[in-house]
Every structure is written in structure tokens, then in C-alpha cells.
Amino acid sequence: AQSVTQLGSHVSVSEGALVLLRCNYSSSVPPYLFWYVQYPNQGLQLLLKYTSAATLVKGINGFEAEFKKSETSFHLTKPSAHMSDAAEYFCAVSLNAGNMLTFGGGTRLMVKP
């Protein structure tokens, strides 16, 4: 069975500062990894996904994530936070070929002016 742990249920950064959201996974086989963002009262939007090609994955809105097998991590970063980045972020893993996702508990990102 696979699992996902997101360290820090709340992260607060200043506008313009580096954003770092942590995700660690547990898997017995090479996983597919995803980051989704959820704005208030909305569904989930895919930011980026790792599918065993490049270990550094670039996504939308300036976000990127690096797959580190030795650390079983897939942390999400953005060099400079914007107020519009304030949202809930979810890391997810899929092992089977059917695209059935296991999500972490989420990290709420707050951006201070």
C-alpha cells in the first residue's frame, strides 16, 4: 500500500519569499506523483506530475517539484510567492495503472503582504 505525508498543515510566507511545501511518500514500487491546488470552494487543479521521466518537474504558475528517490520526497517549490498562491496544496501518489490517487492531508499556504 502507498501513503503520502505532507509535513506542515499550515505554511506562512511573505510575498516574494520562497515557497517550500514538503511531501514524502511511501511506496513499494516506483510511484507516479502529483501536486494539486485547491482554492476555496473549488475542486482540485493539477499543478504538476512526475511520471518517471525528468526528476525535476515544472508545473503551472511557476511551481516546480523534484523527485528524490533516496529521500522518498517530492517537495513543491516556487522561488517567489504571490498573494494569489494562497490556497490548499495536496500531494498525491498513484501506483496502479488506473490513476487512482492517494492524497496527503494537505498544506494550507498563507501569503503575507
- Note the residues at the interface with another protein (CB under 8 A): 4, 6, 32, 36, 41-46, 49, 51, 90, 92, 94, 96-106
Query: Closer CB to another protein, residue 62 or residue 106?
Result: 106
Distance, in Å, from the CA atom of 52 to the CA atom of 27, rounded to the nearest integer, reads: 14
Max distance between CA atoms of the chain, in angstroms, equals: 43
Residue whose CB is less far from another protein, 48 or 81:
48
Q: Smallest distance, Å, CB 49 to another protein?
A: 7
**Which residue's CB is nearer to another protein, number 43 or number 113?**
43
Integer-rounded Cα Rg, in Å, for the chain is 13
Nearer to another protein, 17 or 101 (CB): 101
State in angstroms the smallest separation of the CB of 78 from another protein. Answer: 20
Min separation Cβ 111 and another protein, Å: 20
* Residue written as grid cell 511545501: 21
Minimum CB separation from another protein for residue 43, in Å? 4
Q: Are strands 44-50 and 32-38 parallel, antiparallel or unpaired?
A: antiparallel
Letter string b/e over residues 43-54, b meaning 16 or more CB atoms within 10 A of that residue's CB: ebeebbbbeeee
